[in-house]
Every structure is written in structure tokens, then in C-alpha cells.
Structure 1
Amino acid sequence: MDFNPLKELEKWAAVEVSDFDEVPEEMDRLVVPQGQYSIFQYKGKPSEAQKTFQYIYGVGLPGSIYEMDDRPYLDRMGEKYHGEDSNSEEEFWIPIRKK
């Protein structure tokens, strides 16, 4: 459960759809299982988010009644996301379950 920015992971760029029949055949489909998420608002450069993740995994979750669940982690980038701009905003969705 230690945060390691060098850990290998699988990353998707995704868009929510209401019907897989509308998705072109050459595109993969991902179904995100239902469950609880802890949502963290982040403002700043994505390259400087490591301290936020260290807090989430080192202090936030261990000090709560929750632990990380084995479901996909989501990073939601909406209209306020501007890449490496210091005013960029995004949400980190951490899958959780009660300990």
C-alpha cells in the first residue's frame, strides 16, 4: 500500500458512454465496477502531485476507517484541467472499502 511513483501501471484515456453499441469496434471497453470512492480535489501542476499522493496513501487512508479497494483508480480531468499550468485542476478518485 506504499505509494511508489515508479510502480508500473496500466493507464487508459476514457470517455463515459451510455451504450457500448455506439463505441467503434477498434476501441476497447472498460466497465468500472460499482463501489465507494474517496475523491480528492487537486489544483496545481500534475508533475508536482506526488506530495498529494503521499498524503493520501501515507496519512489520509491509513488514518481513516477505509483502505484502498482493488478496483480502478480514476483521475478525472474536466474543463479546469490545463496540463502543466499551476492553476490546473483535477480529481483523484481512490477506490475504497471499509477496513
Structure 2
Amino acid sequence: MKPRIKLLSEKKLIGMQTIMSLTDNKTMELWQNFMPKRKDIKRAVNSNLYSIQHYDDLYFKDFNPNASFEKWAAIEVTDFKIIPKDMQTFTIPTGLYAVFEYKGLSSDNSIFHYIFAEWLPNSEYHLDHRPHFEILGEKYKNNDPNSEEEIWIPIKPRT
């Protein structure tokens, strides 16, 4: 699977976040809290949902499934003029991304093994320290093997 390499312009998002780890996965709880309230977000760019992971600088240097990170459920907006109660803003900065088109169950982590253990080490890129995210568009179907999403991995050229 070969990704598209894309320069992403800054994105403004509004949503909800939680701190979690891979061993203490709170993804389902986060989305269950977010989905009924997403209609309160005004000035949405489109109907795509963003599942964002924001890791600290050392997260990938010494991988530990107990290490915590921020997980976001969000929608892209045109501006931050109206922020619904119980929600926060998040900005994805401009940067280069490897974009993988994924079809399958979101619970199947083999795509991430491929990205980090096979594709990235053999590519001309390093992992960059910016948010990782998935775009869950109209072809996304939770817990469905025919579900489709885009996986965005922040990269920078090897020097």
C-alpha cells in the first residue's frame, strides 16, 4: 500500500478530548460523549469526523503501550468564534503527511504495524512531531469490514 504524500494546510477543529493509553483505551467512551453533541458545532467545513492522536515528543522513541496521549473526536470548522459548551479547540499545523487509504475494521491494527514497521523505515521520510489523525468520511462505517477512512501520518524528509 503506497500512501499519497500531501502538504496539509492548517486545520481548525472543535471537539472533545481525553487522555488515554493503548492499554486504557477510552476511544469508545470519547465518541459516545461527542456524537450526540456534534450538532452543536457551528461553521463546520463539512461532515467529516476527525479522530486525532496527539503524542508527546518521546512517545515513539521508547514505545510503551501504557504511555498516555491525547485522543480527540472533532469536526473541522472555519473559525473558533462559537465554541459549544463542554468542547475545546484544536489546531493541526501545516505540514507534510503520508495519507493511507484504509478499508477494513478500525479495530484491526495491522495497518499501523505496516505503516510504522514496514513503510516508514523503508521510505525517504521520518516521523514528524505533529498530530496523527484519521478522517472518517461518508464511507466510514463503525465496526464494518467495508468501512473506509484516511489515515494521516505526519512526516518530514530524511536529511
**Pairwise same-fold verdict (TM > 0.5):** yes
Partner of 1:30: 90
Partner of 2:114: 55
Partner of 1:45: 105
Task: Say which SS state the counterpart of residue 11 (structure 1) adopts.
Answer: strand
4+ residue segments displaced more than 4 Å? none
**For the residues of structure 2 that align with 1:5 and 1:44, how far apart are their CA atoms?**
25
More strand by share: 2
Displacement of 1:67: 0.8
| 1:72 is aligned to 2:131 | yes
- Structure with higher RCO (Cα < 8 A, 6+ apart): 1
Partner of 2:70: 10
Partner of 2:55: none
* TM-score normalised by L of structure 2: 0.56
| 1:94 is aligned to 2:94 | no
The alignment covers a number of residue pairs equal to 97
- Listed one character per residue, the Cα deviations across residues 14-38 of structure 1 (whole Å, up to 9, x for unaligned) are 1111110032354211011100010
